[in-house]
């Protein structure tokens, strides 16, 4: 007796596309799923590479939670030696965009931690689908959608690094490439899988898979918070500050209003207009959202041996010229400082070869200082500014920030800025 197999035919009557998958559609279906295995393996390996890069970045960030300076890995080569000193990775790590919840935890929670969590989940999903014999199209679609998340974040953070921070983190670039390769591989696998069998439960499973991914991220986040060291308000550290000013007054009138805000917390910053660390602090403070709560004054302290007898060599050549200009025209001082920060690299480079040329450039940019710049009166203003630092027994270092008379610890002017400053404004630790 002949049997009717028409009920098991995936193609409707009259469909001429049966030849696309041969006499047995399930054979071609199995072939399609097997052919997707290679791109799924590539996606898994790309996600695993992302885990390594994100873990390296997270480890470097965590190392700085002891409030000390450590070496930083800045290479796409796994196991490459960490380096100390300036690097693109250090600049990016110290930027306000490297972590979230910065006012709630010292340093915040590194973005790389969330990236590592997502990459771990994606590596697990891609690996599981590659091992299985029959990955469904809906499952591979979810993987591709998940892989698009780090691609989107790579675009956002690549933009912030290049436009806002002005530095490139090599380890971050490794994450960008891992994201892109993983997404392309997952997309190829999606088109290779020929899933003719309907799955009415796929929508529900999509949300279950999404919840599973969120659980990965949440678990990693909670583990991180469980081990974050607490910052106690010990004497001489943290929100309690690292000392006070001996003579906070301004008897010789050398302080400059750089951001006056009536009602704001009295704040004094010892700064060098050509100091990269001062520029970095200014940028972090602006993004922190706390600048509007400070009534900012500046005491200029150029680390330039041309006018500063406390430094043997010019760490920041040209800083004396910019300092004189700011003291010559106090009304324009905030604009001069902003201009100096914006053109800092070019001014430093020019001053190493042609310091008079820097002075001419300043006069051209700010004609109001023409009759004062370089005069004995201007130089005397600089000397009085330096003597203020001596009278307060301050170290030869910039920037130094005093909020309500308390000196913010040096380590709190970078990663811990938002956390510590918020508590200093409140009057202490919570």
Q: Average of pLDDT values for 196-202?
A: 61
Q: How confident is the model at residue 7 (pLDDT cuts 50, 70, 90)?
A: very low
Residues 327 and 267 reside in one and the same domain: yes
Lowest mean pLDDT among 22-31, 52-61, 261-270: 22-31
Residues 199 and 283 reside in one and the same domain: no
Contact 407, 244 (CB under 8 A): yes
**Domain end point (choices 179, 197, 227):** 227
Q: Average of pLDDT values for 55-79?
A: 78
Residues 223 and 134 reside in one and the same domain: yes
The pLDDT value recorded for residue 15 is 44
Residues 177 and 243 reside in one and the same domain: no
**Domain end point (choices 202, 227, 252):** 227
Residues 217 and 242 reside in one and the same domain: no
Class of residue 332 by CB neighbours under 10 A (exposed 0-12, middle 13-18, buried 19+): middle
Residues 270 and 188 reside in one and the same domain: no
The 10s digit of each residue's pLDDT in 368-390 is 999 899 999 999 999 999 999 99
pLDDT at 11 over 50: no
Residues 315 and 193 reside in one and the same domain: no
Q: Looking at the domain assignment, is residue 17 inside a domain?
A: no
The pLDDT value recorded for residue 248 is 86
The pLDDT value recorded for residue 2 is 44
The pLDDT value recorded for residue 288 is 87
Q: Say which CATH number the domain at 402 has.
A: 3.40.30.10
Residues 199 and 105 reside in one and the same domain: yes
Count up the domains in the chain and report the number: 2
* Residue 152 domain boundaries: 27-227
The pLDDT value recorded for residue 62 is 87
pLDDT at 127 over 90: yes
Q: How confident is the model at residue 71 (pLDDT cuts 50, 70, 90)?
A: confident
Residues 260 and 318 reside in one and the same domain: yes
Q: Average of pLDDT values for 18-38?
A: 55
pLDDT at 361 over 90: yes
């Amino acid at each position: 007796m002949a049997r009717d197999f028409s009920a098991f035919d995936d193609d409707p009557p009259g469909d001429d596309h049966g030849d696309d998958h041969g006499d047995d559609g399930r054979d071609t279906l199995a072939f399609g799923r097997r052919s997707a295995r290679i791109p799924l393996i590539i996606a898994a390996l790309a996600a695993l590479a992302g885990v390594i890069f994100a873990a390296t970045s997270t480890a470097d960030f965590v190392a700085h939670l002891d409030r000390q300076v450590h070496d930083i890995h800045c290479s796409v080569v796994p196991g490459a030696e960490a380096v100390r000193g300036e690097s693109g990775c250090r600049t990016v790590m110290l930027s306000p965009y490297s972590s979230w919840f910065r006012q709630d935890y010292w340093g915040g929670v590194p973005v790389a931690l969330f990236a590592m969590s997502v990459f771990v989940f994606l590596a697990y999903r891609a690996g599981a689908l590659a091992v299985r014999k029959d990955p469904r199209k809906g499952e591979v679609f979810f993987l591709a959608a998940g892989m698009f998340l780090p691609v989107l974040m790579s675009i956002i953070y690549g933009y912030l690094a290049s436009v806002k921070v002005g530095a490139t983190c090599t380890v971050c670039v490794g994450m960008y490439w891992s994201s892109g390769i993983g997404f392309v591989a997952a997309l190829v696998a999606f088109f290779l899988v020929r899933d003719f069998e309907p799955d009415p439960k796929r929508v529900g499973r999509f949300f279950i898979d999404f919840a599973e991914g969120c659980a990965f991220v949440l678990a990693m986040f909670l583990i991180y918070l469980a081990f974050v060291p607490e910052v106690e308000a010990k004497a001489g550290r943290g929100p309690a500050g690292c000392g006070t000013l001996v003579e906070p007054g301004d008897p010789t009138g050398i302080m400059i209003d750089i951001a006056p805000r009536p009602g704001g917390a009295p704040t004094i910053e010892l700064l060098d207009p050509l100091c990269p660390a001062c520029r970095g602090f200014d940028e972090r403070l602006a993004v922190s959202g706390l600048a509007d709560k400070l009534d900012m004054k500046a005491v200029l302290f150029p680390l330039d041996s041309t006018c500063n007898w406390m430094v043997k060599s010019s760490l920041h050549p040209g800083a004396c010229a910019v300092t004189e200009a700011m003291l010559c025209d106090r009304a324009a001082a905030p604009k001069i400082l902003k201009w100096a920060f914006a053109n800092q690299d070019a001014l430093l480079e020019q001053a190493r070869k042609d310091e008079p040329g820097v002075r001419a450039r300043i006069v051209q940019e700010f004609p109001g200082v023409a009759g004062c710049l370089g005069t004995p009166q201007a130089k005397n203003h600089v000397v009085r500014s330096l003597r203020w630092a001596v009278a307060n027994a301050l170290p030869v270092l910039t920037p130094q920030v005093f909020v309500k008379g308390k000196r913010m610890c040096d380590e709190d002017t970078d990663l811990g800025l938002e956390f510590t400053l918020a508590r200093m404004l409140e009057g202490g630790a919570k």
